[in-house]
Structure 1
Amino acid sequence: MLSLLRDSIKGRMIVILLLSSIVPVSLLGGVSYYSFHSFMENKLKSGVQENLEKELIGLDNILKNLNFAAQQLALDKSITTRVQHYMVSDDQIERKDILLGVLDRMSLINYSSPFAGIIALLDAKTNQPFMQSYPTQSVIHITQHPLLLEANGVMYFAPHQSTDKYNEDHTQVFSLARKVSDYETNTSFYVYVESNFNTLQRLFNNVQYGETVKHLLLDKNDRIVYSEDPAHFPMQAKFKLHDSKSSIRDLRFITASEQGWKLAVVMKGDAFQNEVNSWFGKYVTVGMFSLLLSLLLAYICWRTIYRPLHVFRREIEGVGDDLAHRPKKWLRLREFDEVLGRFYAMKDRVFDLLKEIERREKAKSNVEVEKLKHQINPHFIHNTLNTVQVIAKMNKQNEIVRLITHFTRILHYNLGKEGTHVRVQEEVDNLNDYLALQNIRYSHQFDVRMDINPSTLNEMIPRFVLQPLVENAIYHGFRNRDGMIKVSIDPHPDGGIVMCVADNGEGMPPDRLQSLLEDKSAGGRSVGMGIGLSFVHRLIQAYYGESSGLRIESELGRGTSITILILKGMGGDSYDSGDSGR
């Protein structure tokens, strides 16, 4: 399946169009999701935090209002003196007058304080109320109330059940207690003030941004003194803003007052997650629609492009099948019809050229046949030389006999039709014939030393490559003076043969070295048998690649070294002994 998508235009078009749809939608969706998630989260968190700070300010105002109400009794010397006198007096009439006066003051405080509810004076020893604005329980155990804060002799209590005698609904209220002591009369009492019944309900908003929240009140040590979710956040437990050990994943917010106590809210975040899920569902719907639309567009593009390409393929196959008279097909699409028209014109031109080439090749073949008829038959040359050799023997001309013998073998080797490649042994034998012929032709002597590795004698090499190197050394290295030529043939470590012809002749300047292999200039022109070094170099590279060929090193006055490098394992051809015969 992957290969079909990768190796066909149809598959690639589908992939490209899908990617052109999926990638932008994915990128846009990712950015949108991140932005939406960040916006919703920041909006939710900042909104909840803002509401929490407002509730903290409201609670702080409530506590200040209750404290102000308590101060009107506890800090009024006339009131505290009368209350202390009430506690030690036995005169019932006097006690009644004091009680009525204090109750009138409590009523005034209740009227002027919007958050004050029950106001009571408690005996510090027995915690029994002896004066109260509303009927209360017979004993008020303030030490059992959850302590939120104690500062400046005032104890502020977190929400607890009201001490109202008729509180059947178990309504919870805030409260505080301020102690007043008199050392002269040895009396002490508490000014106890509760908030009214609806204070807690108006203060805490339990639904924020469509999400249910739970409020917690913490003391200075972060211990819970009020909890709307005691199952998960029990009283006196230590509250942590980030609890990795908790099995419940929730959102927690906290804010602190100037006195050190704190207000916290906890929410599950379901409303936020529901908003995210709703947006994600819409995004998936749009993404699937985009994907289906891309598939439809891919099919339309495939029909628009692939059908003309199919016609092109059939037309090209028709050219390969030599269907010169195949009827022309038109697609009725301007761009494709223009290309088809040029293709048909090119096809007609190609077939015309093929006919012309065929005609010319036939004419050329006829000329070559006619040319061969006028060439001298090599057998006629051999027969004539044999006749001369017989006459020389009859006249006892031994030098002429030897010369013709060597020349005949060289001629037979050079004109041989047994193959393009021969064994090294055959090349060396031909070289020996050539050297013997040269010794007869010229009066001066040249010393040729052979160093042939026996393991190379049966290796196959191109015919007639070693003799031109020796011939070049004789003609260009020594001119008319004697010298020494060393011929060595060794196997190459990487597979192949290295043949080297070195002389101690005149040498040549560096600017002539490369010209010997590149063209037929004065330094590279052929001599003797008519085969130049450039021909040998091109022949070697034609069979064995550019890594093989001739390497020439020379120094004026010290001689020249020519190396034939044949690397059979480096991309060149290999030949067996069946390619040659003699």
Structure 2
Amino acid sequence: MSRKLMMERLKQITFKNRIIAIFLISSLIPFICLGFISFYTINSILGNKVEAALQNNLNQELIVLENTLNNINHVSQQLAFGGGTNKLLEELVHETESYNQIQLRNNIKAELNIISFSNPNVGLIMYYYPEACTYDFENFRLRSEFRPDQLPLMAKYSEITYFGPHKSYNGSMNQYVFSTMRKVNLPDQDVYLYIETGRNALETLFAPENRKSDSRRLLILDNDGRIVFSENEGAFPVSSMFPGHSSAANVSSGTYEAFYWNKATSNQGWSIVSLIPKNELNQERNSWLLQMALIFVVFIFVAVITAWLLWKMVYNPLDKFNKEIKTLIQTNTNYTGLTKIPEFDYLLYQIRDMKTKIWDLYGEIERKEKRRADLEVEKLLYQINPHFLMNTLDTVHWLAVFSGHEKIDKLVLSLNKLLSYNLGKMGEATTIGKEIQALKEYLQLQQIRYDFQFDVDIEVDESTMGLSIPRFILQPLVENALYHGVSDEGYIHVDIKLNQELEITIQDNGSGMTQAEIDALMLDESKESQKVGMGIGMRYVKRILQANYGERARLEIKSEVGKGTIVTLRIPVTGGEQAL
């Protein structure tokens, strides 16, 4: 889509839609920005702080488990390499008398009970004979046949083997325990010491029934990353490889299918893994998103309603303005009420005031048109006498020709031409050439009329002859110079030239005027101008210039008593157009 077409479509959007769009954009942008910031903050909390907390808890559980295993490892070392119990076992093997055998067995059990009592984290203790698949000296009753080959192997070393969480063989408890088997240091005997963790040693860690409200599940991995214990057999079956295990030992968290996992690895190489469903970890985030979505919908609804109310607040006054404008030229009656909004009511008052003035202007125009029609009739009546006078002068002209009176003929002919020119509409456009020709006719009449001699020098730039100026503008100024300044041997100079504007200069060498007389002459009050004797002609020139050019035309008078007067007109030339 071109930019021009897009701009055209934007121009076609209504004022109502623009208000709603602008209001929605200005309202929603802060809300959306706040939403993104909140989402980023919550996501940061869930992704960093919650994960860090889970990892810390898992590390604490690993420490507890390592301490427990170290404890049973320490006990196994005492029994497997200690002198007391091993010596009793050697004596029991070589003893043949029943009484002494019973006595030795009781002593061995007493030793085991002392060790079990002094180590509360130790549970079932017994000796296992792999060749006969039998056990002896157990400190608790076994719940079932002892099968060490079925125990989940967690880590195996040269001297000791660790088994992962499994149901205890202790018949007095039903809990998950860890266990170890260590070969006893006895000559000529294949005997292993079996030890389980005690009651409640790992109850909070491996007792899912005690944390039903906690959806977290645990895995135990051997040194190779194989699952030896799983609280989620469906997704992580025992004996399978853990998907998050890798050669990179620093990988401690990740995702697999619908779970987030955290892993902590012990110093021996086995690991403990915590599983949390993604939907639970994202529950707070999803809850926040749902709340924000609901708030967003409500916000949109409120914003649209608010924008609509704002539009109605603007539309109702506009409708009143529309009705008021429609009746503007039809009637002077106000049909609409006020908007009850001060700013709009002020504009409505202005429109009604304008309406009243327009109707007053209509009435004034009607009155002027009626007066104009009357003046046209009156003008026709007045034109009868000037035409009759011109016809009469034309008859006198021919009589003078036939009678041989050349001076009378010349006077009558000049008067006839001057009257013909001056009877045109005052102030209408003419040319410099025509105005100069009429001025020459006027001066010829004045030279015949007056008995004193005066010289008139007319200097006109040829390029100005066709320029348009108002009619009858030179004669009044020359007439003033002639009547009020020039006497015998008088001199009048008319200069017309074109620079950036048309400049007309009329200069005489008459008696001149004082500055007070010039100021009075330039006033527009007829009484003041008549006092200096140049009122009618000067007022006419000033008003014609004002009517045709406004402030663009200038009239200047410079005079000195006893030396003469200079009158200068500066008239703008609009585009250099010439009158036809």
Using structure 2 for the length normalisation, give the TM-score.
Answer: 0.54
Between the aligned partners of 1:195 and 1:37, the Cα distance in structure 2 is 45
**Distance in structure 2 (CA, Å) of the matches to 1:393 and 1:305:** 84
Report if the CA contact (8 A) 1:56-1:263 is conserved.
Answer: no
Kindly provide the amino acid, as one letter, of the partner of residue 474 in structure 2. Answer: Q
1:64 corresponds to: 67
Aligned partner (choices 404, 414, 424) of residue 416 of structure 1: 424
Deviation, 1:473, is 11
Give the alignment of 1:381-460 within 5 angstroms: 381-383=389-391, 385-386=393-394, 389=397, 405-406=413-414, 408-416=416-424, 420-422=428-430, 426-435=431-440, 437-438=442-443, 441=447, 443-445=453-455, 447-453=457-463
1:127-276 to 2 correspondences below 5 Å: 137=148, 145=155, 160=164, 195=197, 202-203=204-205, 213=216, 232-237=243-248, 267-268=277-278, 269-276=281-288
Post-superposition Cα deviations, 1:203-238, rounded to whole Å, max 9, x if no partner, equal 27999998955668999xxx9898976664124445
How does 1:267-416 map onto structure 2 within 5 Å?
A: 267-268=277-278, 269-280=281-292, 282-283=294-295, 286=298, 290=302, 320-321=329-330, 369=377, 373=381, 377-383=385-391, 385-386=393-394, 389=397, 405-406=413-414, 408-416=416-424
Question: Residues 348, 46 of structure 1: CA spacing in aligned structure 2 closer, same or farther, 3 A cutoff?
Answer: closer
Deviation of the 1:431 alpha carbon: 1.7
Offset of residue 56 of structure 1: 3.4
Find the counterpart in structure 1 of residue 502 from structure 2. Answer: 499
Q: 1:352 to 1:90 in 2, by over 3 A?
A: closer
User: Kindly tell me: are residues 51 and 379 of structure 1, through their superposed partners in 2, closer, same or farther at Cα, counting changes over 3 Å?
Assistant: same
**Contact kept in structure 2, 1:509 and 1:554, CA below 8 Å:** no
State whether residues 250 and 266 of structure 1, in contact with CA within 8 Å, keep that contact through their aligned partners in structure 2. yes
Q: Please say if 1:566 is aligned against 2:567.
A: no
> For 2:474, which of 467, 476, 493 is the aligned residue?
467
Residues 248 and 161 of structure 1, relative CA distance in 2, 3 Å threshold = closer
The Cα of 1:386 is off from its aligned counterpart by 4.0
RMSD: 7.5
The alignment partner of 1:416 has SS state of coil
How far residue 412 of structure 1 moved from its aligned partner, in angstroms, is 2.8
Which amino acid in structure 2 is aligned with residue 66 of structure 1? L
The answer on whether the counterparts of 2:477 and 2:537 sit within 8 Å (CA) in structure 1 is no
SS in 1 for 2:387: helix
Distance 1:390-1:276 versus aligned 2 partners, 3 A rule: same
Query: Which one has a bigger Cα radius of gyration?
Result: 2
- 1:281–1:398: structure 2 CA closer, same or farther, 3 Å change rule? same
Q: Confirm whether residue 540 of structure 1 aligns to residue 562 of structure 2.
A: no
Moved more, 228-237 or 520-529: 520-529
- Residue in structure 2 matched with residue 151 of structure 1 by the alignment: none
> Matches of 2:177 and 2:522 in 1, distance apart?
113
1:428 Cα deviation (Å)?
1.8
Structure 1: gaps spanning 5 or more residues: 123-128, 148-153, 493-497, 578-582
Shift in CA distance, 191/349, structure 1 to aligned 2, threshold 3 Å: same
8 Å CA contact retained: 1:162, 1:173: yes
Q: Which residue of 1 aligns with 2:83?
A: 82
Deviations for 1:425-451, whole angstroms, at most 9, x for unmatched residues?
A: x43232244156447648444544332
In structure 1, what is the Cα distance between the partners aligned to 2:260 and 2:65? 27
Q: Which amino acid aligns with 2:497?
A: S
Q: Distance in 1 between matches of 2:533 and 2:195?
A: 126
Most deviating of 259-268 and 399-408: 259-268
Paired with 2:556 and 2:82, the residues of 1 have a C-alpha distance of 132
Superposed CA deviations along residues 440-476 of structure 1, whole A, max 9, x for unmatched, are 64844454433233xx7666x3542873797599689
Aligned partner letter, 1:564: I
The amino acid across from 1:566 in the alignment is V
1:487 counterpart = 2:496: yes
- Mapped partners of 1:217, 1:402: distance in 2: 141
Q: CA deviation at 1:539?
A: 0.6
Distance 1:70 1:232, change over 3 A: closer
Shift of 1:414: 3.7
Q: 2:121, 2:198 within 8 Å by CA — same for their partners in 1? A: yes
Does structure 2 conserve the Cα–Cα contact (< 8 Å) formed by 1:252 and 1:266?
A: yes
Cα–Cα, structure 1 residues 380 and 274, in superposed 2: closer, same or farther, change >3 Å?
Answer: same
Please list the CA deviations of residues 301-353 of structure 1 after superposition, one character each: whole Å capped at 9, or x if unmatched.
Answer: 79x996x99799778756745699xxx9999x999xx999xx99999999999
Which whole-Å CA distance do the structure 1 matches of 2:137 and 2:515 have between them? 130
Q: CA deviation at 1:564?
A: 2.3
* Residue identity opposite 1:532 in structure 2: V
1:399-430: CA deviation from partner (whole Å, max 9, x where unpaired):
665566555444433432599444xxx43232
- Match of 2:573, SS? strand
- 1:450 aligned partner, one-letter code: V
Could you state the TM-score of these two structures normalised by the residue count of structure 1?
A: 0.54
Distance 1:433 1:25 in 2: 80
> Which aligned pairs between 1:79-118 and structure 2 lie closer than 5 A?
80-82=81-83, 92-93=93-94, 108-110=114-116, 113=119, 115-116=121-122
Q: What number of residue pairs does the alignment pair up?
A: 507
Shift of the 348–273 alpha-carbon distance from structure 1 to 2, 3 Å rule, reads closer
Contact 2:433 2:466 in 1 (8 A): no
| Cα distance between partner residues in 1 of 2:262 and 2:556 | 90
Counterpart in the other structure of 2:132: none
Once residues 287 and 100 of structure 1 are traced to their aligned partners in structure 2, the CA distance between those partners, rounded to angstroms, is: 82
Q: Which letter does structure 1 place at the counterpart of 2:67?
A: K
Q: Does the residue aligned with 2:540 lie in a helix, a strand or coil?
A: coil
Alignment partners' CA distance in 2, 1:236 and 1:99 = 49
Task: For structure 2, list consecutive stretches of 5 or more residues without a partner in the other structure.
Answer: 1-8, 96-100, 129-134, 231-235
Whether the 8 Å CA contact 2:328–2:355 is kept in 1: the answer is yes
Residues 251 and 267 of structure 1 are in contact (CA less than 8 Å); yes or no, is this contact kept in structure 2? yes
Output the CA distance in 2 between the equivalents of 1:210 and 1:292: 44
